[in-house]
Chains A and B, each alone.
Chain A
Amino acid sequence: RKEVEQDPGPFNVPEGATVAFNCTYSNSASQSFFWYRQDCRKEPKLLMSVYSSGNEDGRFTAQLNRASQYISLLIRDSKLSDSATYLCVVNPVKGTYKYIFGTGTRLKVLA
Protein backbone atom coordinates (compact mmCIF):
# COMPACT_ATOMS: atom_id res chain seq x y z
CA ARG A 1 0.00 0.00 0.00
CA LYS A 2 1.30 3.43 -0.89
CA GLU A 3 1.92 5.86 1.95
CA VAL A 4 -0.32 8.49 0.39
CA GLU A 5 -3.00 7.67 -2.18
CA GLN A 6 -5.23 9.82 -4.33
CA ASP A 7 -7.70 9.22 -7.14
CA PRO A 8 -5.78 10.51 -10.17
CA GLY A 9 -8.94 11.67 -11.97
CA PRO A 10 -9.36 13.61 -14.12
CA PHE A 11 -12.39 15.22 -12.58
CA ASN A 12 -14.15 17.20 -15.31
CA VAL A 13 -16.66 19.63 -13.82
CA PRO A 14 -18.58 22.63 -15.17
CA GLU A 15 -17.87 26.13 -13.93
CA GLY A 16 -19.71 26.83 -10.72
CA ALA A 17 -19.80 23.20 -9.61
CA THR A 18 -18.69 21.90 -6.24
CA VAL A 19 -16.05 19.19 -6.32
CA ALA A 20 -14.38 17.16 -3.60
CA PHE A 21 -11.19 15.12 -3.51
CA ASN A 22 -10.04 12.62 -0.93
CA CYS A 23 -6.58 11.46 0.02
CA THR A 24 -5.81 8.47 2.22
CA TYR A 25 -2.63 7.94 4.20
CA SER A 26 -1.27 4.73 5.65
CA ASN A 27 0.65 5.87 8.74
CA SER A 28 -1.74 6.55 11.59
CA ALA A 29 0.98 8.55 13.38
CA SER A 30 1.14 11.12 10.58
CA GLN A 31 1.33 14.63 11.94
CA SER A 32 0.94 17.27 9.30
CA PHE A 33 -1.21 17.46 6.21
CA PHE A 34 -1.35 19.83 3.30
CA TRP A 35 -2.92 20.40 -0.07
CA TYR A 36 -0.68 21.70 -2.83
CA ARG A 37 -1.68 22.83 -6.28
CA GLN A 38 0.48 22.09 -9.30
CA ASP A 39 -0.09 23.61 -12.72
CA CYS A 40 1.18 21.82 -15.81
CA ARG A 41 5.00 21.78 -15.92
CA LYS A 42 5.23 24.09 -12.89
CA GLU A 43 6.32 23.57 -9.32
CA PRO A 44 3.83 22.66 -6.56
CA LYS A 45 2.52 25.58 -4.54
CA LEU A 46 0.89 25.45 -1.15
CA LEU A 47 -2.89 25.74 -1.33
CA MET A 48 -3.63 25.20 2.33
CA SER A 49 -2.60 23.35 5.44
CA VAL A 50 -5.13 20.95 6.93
CA TYR A 51 -5.94 21.33 10.59
CA SER A 52 -7.56 18.81 12.89
CA SER A 53 -10.73 20.83 13.26
CA GLY A 54 -11.00 21.50 9.54
CA ASN A 55 -10.36 24.84 7.93
CA GLU A 56 -11.66 27.05 5.19
CA ASP A 57 -10.03 29.54 2.88
CA GLY A 58 -12.51 31.26 0.64
CA ARG A 59 -14.00 28.67 -1.69
CA PHE A 60 -11.71 25.94 -0.38
CA THR A 61 -12.42 23.72 2.64
CA ALA A 62 -10.08 21.09 4.01
CA GLN A 63 -11.01 18.34 6.45
CA LEU A 64 -9.03 15.74 8.34
CA ASN A 65 -10.49 12.41 9.46
CA ARG A 66 -7.92 10.71 11.65
CA ALA A 67 -10.09 7.70 12.45
CA SER A 68 -10.39 6.79 8.78
CA GLN A 69 -7.00 8.24 7.86
CA TYR A 70 -8.00 10.56 5.10
CA ILE A 71 -8.04 14.22 4.27
CA SER A 72 -10.39 15.95 1.90
CA LEU A 73 -10.51 19.11 -0.16
CA LEU A 74 -13.77 20.72 -1.19
CA ILE A 75 -13.86 23.40 -3.86
CA ARG A 76 -17.07 25.41 -4.18
CA ASP A 77 -18.11 27.53 -7.15
CA SER A 78 -15.33 26.15 -9.37
CA LYS A 79 -13.53 28.59 -11.67
CA LEU A 80 -11.71 27.87 -14.90
CA SER A 81 -8.54 28.94 -13.12
CA ASP A 82 -8.96 26.11 -10.61
CA SER A 83 -7.95 23.64 -13.34
CA ALA A 84 -4.77 22.03 -12.04
CA THR A 85 -3.46 18.96 -10.25
CA TYR A 86 -4.11 18.88 -6.51
CA LEU A 87 -1.47 17.10 -4.48
CA CYS A 88 -1.98 15.72 -1.02
CA VAL A 89 1.12 15.97 1.19
CA VAL A 90 1.69 14.17 4.48
CA ASN A 91 4.42 14.35 7.11
CA PRO A 92 4.33 10.73 8.23
CA VAL A 93 6.77 10.73 11.11
CA LYS A 94 6.67 13.12 14.04
CA GLY A 95 9.83 15.06 14.58
CA THR A 96 11.08 14.58 11.05
CA TYR A 97 11.04 16.88 8.07
CA LYS A 98 10.05 14.20 5.61
CA TYR A 99 7.06 15.02 3.38
CA ILE A 100 5.38 12.45 1.16
CA PHE A 101 3.29 13.40 -1.84
CA GLY A 102 0.32 11.66 -3.35
CA THR A 103 0.19 11.29 -7.13
CA GLY A 104 -2.30 14.12 -7.36
CA THR A 105 -5.83 14.51 -8.63
CA ARG A 106 -6.33 16.32 -11.91
CA LEU A 107 -9.19 18.80 -12.06
CA LYS A 108 -10.53 20.30 -15.27
CA VAL A 109 -13.13 23.00 -14.93
CA LEU A 110 -15.10 23.36 -18.15
CA ALA A 111 -16.74 26.52 -19.48
Chain B
Amino acid sequence: DAMVIQNPRYQVTQFGKPVTLSCSQTLNHNVMYWYQQKSSQAPKLLFHYYDKDFNNEADTPDNFQSRRPNTSFCFLDIRSPGLGDAAMYLCATSTRASGANVLTFGAGSRLTVL
Protein backbone atom coordinates (compact mmCIF):
# COMPACT_ATOMS: atom_id res chain seq x y z
CA ASP B 1 0.00 0.00 0.00
CA ALA B 2 1.45 3.32 -1.08
CA MET B 3 1.97 5.59 1.92
CA VAL B 4 3.19 8.69 0.11
CA ILE B 5 1.20 9.33 -3.04
CA GLN B 6 2.11 11.86 -5.67
CA ASN B 7 -0.10 13.13 -8.44
CA PRO B 8 0.19 13.37 -11.31
CA ARG B 9 2.97 10.90 -12.01
CA TYR B 10 3.65 12.63 -15.32
CA GLN B 11 2.92 16.25 -16.13
CA VAL B 12 3.51 18.01 -19.42
CA THR B 13 3.16 21.76 -19.49
CA GLN B 14 4.01 24.65 -21.73
CA PHE B 15 6.67 27.19 -20.99
CA GLY B 16 5.22 29.68 -18.51
CA LYS B 17 2.02 27.76 -17.78
CA PRO B 18 1.53 27.23 -14.03
CA VAL B 19 1.67 23.73 -12.65
CA THR B 20 0.60 22.23 -9.32
CA LEU B 21 1.93 18.92 -8.07
CA SER B 22 0.31 17.21 -5.12
CA CYS B 23 1.49 14.88 -2.41
CA SER B 24 -0.58 13.04 0.17
CA GLN B 25 0.51 10.74 2.99
CA THR B 26 -1.19 8.20 5.20
CA LEU B 27 1.72 7.98 7.66
CA ASN B 28 0.70 10.97 9.79
CA HIS B 29 4.28 12.20 9.59
CA ASN B 30 4.75 15.77 10.67
CA VAL B 31 7.54 16.62 8.25
CA MET B 32 7.01 16.85 4.50
CA TYR B 33 9.61 17.69 1.87
CA TRP B 34 9.85 18.61 -1.79
CA TYR B 35 12.97 17.63 -3.68
CA GLN B 36 13.86 18.36 -7.31
CA GLN B 37 15.94 15.77 -9.13
CA LYS B 38 17.35 16.33 -12.60
CA SER B 39 18.89 13.59 -14.68
CA SER B 40 22.06 12.12 -13.14
CA GLN B 41 21.96 14.66 -10.31
CA ALA B 42 21.33 14.46 -6.60
CA PRO B 43 17.85 15.17 -5.28
CA LYS B 44 17.94 18.86 -4.33
CA LEU B 45 15.90 20.02 -1.35
CA LEU B 46 13.55 22.84 -2.30
CA PHE B 47 11.72 23.25 1.04
CA HIS B 48 10.21 21.35 3.90
CA TYR B 49 7.46 21.73 6.47
CA TYR B 50 7.67 20.79 10.10
CA ASP B 51 3.95 20.70 10.85
CA LYS B 52 2.87 24.10 9.54
CA ASP B 53 6.31 25.69 9.84
CA PHE B 54 7.69 26.33 6.37
CA ASN B 55 11.44 26.08 5.75
CA ASN B 56 12.63 27.39 2.42
CA GLU B 57 16.12 26.66 1.10
CA ALA B 58 18.06 29.83 0.35
CA ASP B 59 18.67 28.88 -3.27
CA THR B 60 15.12 27.80 -4.10
CA PRO B 61 13.82 30.14 -6.83
CA ASP B 62 10.78 32.30 -6.08
CA ASN B 63 9.09 30.53 -8.98
CA PHE B 64 8.55 27.59 -6.62
CA GLN B 65 5.94 27.86 -3.91
CA SER B 66 4.39 25.35 -1.55
CA ARG B 67 1.25 24.90 0.52
CA ARG B 68 0.43 22.49 3.27
CA PRO B 69 -3.26 22.84 4.13
CA ASN B 70 -3.23 19.93 6.59
CA THR B 71 -1.01 17.13 7.87
CA SER B 72 -1.83 14.82 5.00
CA PHE B 73 -1.39 17.05 1.98
CA CYS B 74 1.35 19.19 0.51
CA PHE B 75 1.43 20.98 -2.84
CA LEU B 76 4.20 22.28 -5.04
CA ASP B 77 3.26 25.20 -7.27
CA ILE B 78 5.52 26.22 -10.13
CA ARG B 79 4.27 29.61 -11.16
CA SER B 80 5.99 30.02 -14.51
CA PRO B 81 7.81 26.86 -15.52
CA GLY B 82 10.92 27.25 -17.61
CA LEU B 83 12.74 24.64 -19.64
CA GLY B 84 15.22 24.31 -16.79
CA ASP B 85 12.47 23.21 -14.42
CA ALA B 86 11.96 19.93 -16.22
CA ALA B 87 12.79 17.33 -13.61
CA MET B 88 11.46 14.66 -11.30
CA TYR B 89 9.81 16.21 -8.25
CA LEU B 90 9.95 13.98 -5.21
CA CYS B 91 7.81 14.36 -2.13
CA ALA B 92 9.03 12.77 1.08
CA THR B 93 7.93 12.53 4.70
CA SER B 94 9.62 11.88 8.01
CA THR B 95 8.76 11.98 11.67
CA ARG B 96 10.41 12.45 14.99
CA ALA B 97 10.90 8.96 16.33
CA SER B 98 13.40 7.12 18.42
CA GLY B 99 16.69 7.00 16.60
CA ALA B 100 17.40 8.71 13.33
CA ASN B 101 14.55 9.93 11.23
CA VAL B 102 14.04 8.20 7.91
CA LEU B 103 12.74 9.71 4.70
CA THR B 104 9.89 7.94 2.94
CA PHE B 105 9.45 8.99 -0.68
CA GLY B 106 6.56 9.03 -3.05
CA ALA B 107 7.03 7.68 -6.57
CA GLY B 108 7.66 11.16 -7.93
CA SER B 109 6.07 13.48 -10.47
CA ARG B 110 8.00 13.84 -13.72
CA LEU B 111 7.57 17.29 -15.24
CA THR B 112 8.18 18.01 -18.91
CA VAL B 113 8.19 21.62 -20.11
CA LEU B 114 7.60 22.25 -23.81
Question: Which residues of A does B touch, CB under 8 Å?
Answer: 4, 8, 31-32, 34, 36, 41-46, 49, 87, 89, 91, 97-104
Contact = CB atoms under 8 A, between A and B. Distances in A.
Nearest to B99: A49
Interface residues of B, number: 26
Given A32-B100, A102-B42, 17 more contacts: A42-B107, A43-B105, A43-B106, A44-B90, A46-B102, A87-B42, A91-B101, A97-B31, A97-B50, A97-B101, A99-B45, A101-B44, A101-B45, A103-B40, A103-B41, A103-B42, A104-B42
Given A43-B105, A43-B107, A45-B105, A98 B100 contact: no
A104 B38 CA distance: 12
B94 A97 contact: yes
Interface in B42-71: 42-45, 48, 50, 55
